[in-house]
Structure 1
Amino acid sequence: MALLSNSFLCVAAASLCTISASAHSPRADLSVLFDAPTVSEIARVRTDWATRQPEVAGYRVEASGTDAGGVRFDVVSHISEGQRHYGAVRYPRNYAAGQPYGTLVVCHGGLNGVAAEESANFLLSLPGICVDENYFLVIPSYRGEQLVTQFAGTWVSGGSPSWADRDVDDTASLLAAVQMNIPDMDQARVGAWGISRGAAVAMLLAARDDRIRRVVDLFGWTDLSLPSVQSQLDLILNQGVQPAGIGRVAYESFVFGWLNGVLSLDEARQAWIRRSPCYFANTMPPIQAHHGLQDTQIDPSHTQVLLGALSSLGLGPPDVEGFFYPNGAHGINSLVGLGDRVEPYLCALEDGPRAYCGPMAPHALGLYAGADYRGSSSITRNDFELRANNCRPNTVGLVFVSSNTAYVPAGAGFLCVGAGSQRLGAGLIDAAGTFRMSVDLANPNPNVANFLAPGQKAFMQVVFRDVGNPMGSFNFSNGLQVLIEP
């Protein structure tokens, strides 16, 4: 019962839902559909998610242009489940090739696609600390929806809409594709921002994908079994109200199919559980949530339930923050003071481990190996794992550490750790080209202990064999700067 007890407010809210969706037909009684999920049901969702790996085939840059301020935008595409999916990439305002920049995945709201330049307008609400100048924006359109650009027209992603389900798959695949093909994206600094339906996508992405390190949730839904959702379903089923917003998502995604025998009860329950982020709070990264108390489209109880689930896990400020706006409605302009809270929260990504060094050189398969990490750089927590993505597959990686940096041609690439470097360890690179190595910060080898002392900046780099590269027989990831914390 661990997961259910950890998310007790989420489950409690579901169990309070006793609103009948129909006074006229027993088939429309939704109480059995929205019974609180079991541990087994939640585990089955996670098992299904584990089978959905990001797809990066067929990547293309379809068009390039600039917005009204002269900032570069690209329309990019890739293949997802046999369909071509489109997205946009906004480059950092002060972009200079060869330098690492963070990434913010921007998940749009609404149910009808996204206007690329307009989706970046939230930057106008920020005070300008780091995001505009130092972060790529990755903007998915989701399957079956359009991406509208001012510089290159409209692009329509293939497939059928799958709100807050398969569009999470599309977003994960788009992120993987651009990270693989834009070497200046720092894979150690990735956050997600979402509005309304997009906030649900951002939270579910973060719960499923450990590349996401911070999330900003703007009035997203978190539990599709809440009374406010069932009230909207009651209007649709019993009073002939046209499905719209969150009611449409629930009705078209699983209620209609269940009531008409297309989906079994089990299938319908799985459909709403996997679209409800609060049941997966135990794998979410730090999150900052915002909701207007006058929001009539997505009830503030969604954010209250999410914060309760996170609190039950012992999570709170500064990693988990929630803000409610007495006069706020369903739009960011009504959330007064939003930007001054959001941007410092996102800019905290700058304080953690981050990539440095470049431009780097591709290995013989044409990819750039990017340094990454999981866990933290805290000696007390002692959960730091060094990673490097897009290395040469099926070989061995060696890690070197130093207290200073370099940028020196070596082999087929560039050495980024400075004089006095020592070998930190070694590990296997798997068939996907991912290197993983746990680093024991609490009990380091004496040869490297001085590099891993509290307050020390350690500079790490992975080197691997690069057979067949005419430039040299070995190559490197970029470097990772790690501030060792107590």
Structure 2
Amino acid sequence: MMKKLILILFTLSAFISNGQIEKSKKEEDLIKKILTDPSSEEIQEVLFDLRKQDLSPKNVVIQDSMQLSNTNILYIISHEVNGSTHYGAVIIPNRDHLKKLPVIVFATGGDGMHNQFDITQDFNHNAAQFPSFLGEELDKEFIVVIPSFRGQQMIIGDKKYQSGGDIGDAFDGATTDALSFLNVSIKTFSQIDASRIAIYGGSRGGAVALLASARDKRIKRAIVVATPTDMKKLYLLYSEQFKLLFFNDLLIGKITEKEARRKFISMSPIHFIKQLPMVQLHHDKNDPFVPVEFAKILIEGMKTDKKTIDSYFYNEGIHGFWNDKNYWKRVQDFIRPLSD
């Protein structure tokens, strides 16, 4: 009797194991299909659909305002994206005379698992600390727009503002959020000159900066730091995390294979090089999280398409915000023509 029971349990265990292997193989085969390089026609179709999105401001409310120590005014604004309430911050220079000013959008980093960012801390580096974002000279020359992305909590001081939505939608969805909040800012503040827009982002924020620039022709310059540019290569580096964050909806049947492929194409800046404006790129040669190859891929693609890209490499072995004194001066010099 015991031998028979052991045989049954062994057979059942083997059946379950084989079933799991078969399921895993099906999942891998499905993901491989999603990862197949898209045709130029497929990319154009995705871009056309993205540019058709309704990003018009909805249910806009100025929730709070405060004067910063440099006398600039910070506004907290809520609005609606895809049925969820989102928040963002806009910093308006306190100037003696009113005139139209250029905009720089700051896109936060993160990988779909970091659910908070602090405006007073997360953008600080050697050359500029809150309330300065650009450096004393340019802080009075640019309006700063800071969107929070879906599922993120934006913190300033003791106040917290929770945006709705799926935090795992950290590239395609975050780009929609950035452009939606840019539109909110333009509608809310008449001081904004919508013909002079730059965007700055590091890590995930750099990918968002490139994707937003490709979707919206109003963005004239993009500064990207330690940026993943090719999502297929990023998947090969972080496959388990990628499955959890970006393929889970597909694997549980929440979205179709076609929808998953469209989203995956829309996440990868390398597919939209032809649409990019002038780009300034910063990357460490020994970045521990996003290897320098991601920068080289973008540079090669932009040069092939005869697009303008200024690239700078560092040797500190970190993931952005270098001690190199020239780093922020290069950023300032790149955006300064928009303030002239």
Fold match (TM-score > 0.5): yes
Query: Rg: which structure is higher?
Result: 1
Q: Which residue pairs with 2:236 in the alignment?
A: 230
Structure 2 unaligned spans of 5+: 1-20
Residues 1:54 and 2:58 aligned together: no
Residues 1:85 and 2:86 aligned together: yes
Distance 2:272 2:83 in 1: 28
Taking the TM superposition and a 5 Å limit, the aligned residue runs for 1:345-360 are 345-351=334-340
Aligned length: 310
Q: Which residue pairs with 2:177 in the alignment?
A: 170
Superposed displacement of residue 275, structure 1: 0.4
Q: Is the 8 A contact 2:66 2:74 kept in 1?
A: yes
Q: Deviations over 1:32-86 (max 9, x none)?
A: 3322111232122113202213221222211111334443211111222222211
Taking the TM superposition and a 5 Å limit, the aligned residue runs for 1:39-438 are 39-92=40-93, 94-96=94-96, 98-110=98-110, 111-122=114-125, 124=128, 128=135, 130-150=137-157, 153-161=159-167, 162-226=169-233, 229-233=235-239, 236=240, 248=241, 250-315=242-307, 319-334=308-323, 337-351=326-340
Letter in 2 for 1:271: K
Helix, strand or coil at the partner of 1:332: coil
**For residues 172 and 24 of structure 1, do their structure 2 counterparts lie closer, same or farther at Cα, with a shift above 3 Å needed?**
closer
Letter in 2 for 1:44: E
Taking only the aligned residue pairs, the percentage that are identical comes to 26
Q: Is the 8 A contact 1:254 1:271 kept in 2?
A: no
Distance 1:127 1:98 in 2: 20
Q: Deviations over 1:84-103 (max 9, x none)?
A: 211011222x5346222211
Tell me the TM-score normalised to structure 2 length.
Answer: 0.83
Query: Which structure dedicates a bigger proportion of its chain to strand?
Result: 1
Distance 1:166 1:183 in 2: 27
**For residues 86 and 262 of structure 1, do their structure 2 counterparts lie closer, same or farther at Cα, with a shift above 3 Å needed?**
closer
Tell me the TM-score normalised to structure 1 length.
Answer: 0.59
Structure 1 unaligned spans of 5+: 1-21, 237-247, 352-486
Superposed displacement of residue 260, structure 1: 4.5
CA RMSD of aligned residues (A): 2.5
Distance 1:97 1:184 in 2: 11
Distance 1:78 1:96 in 2: 30
Q: Which residue pairs with 1:458 in the alignment?
A: none
Helix, strand or coil at the partner of 2:297: helix
Letter in 2 for 1:107: A
Distance 2:248 2:123 in 1: 35
Letter in 1 for 2:235: V
Q: Is the 8 A contact 1:84 1:157 kept in 2?
A: yes
Q: Is the 8 A contact 2:316 2:322 kept in 1?
A: no
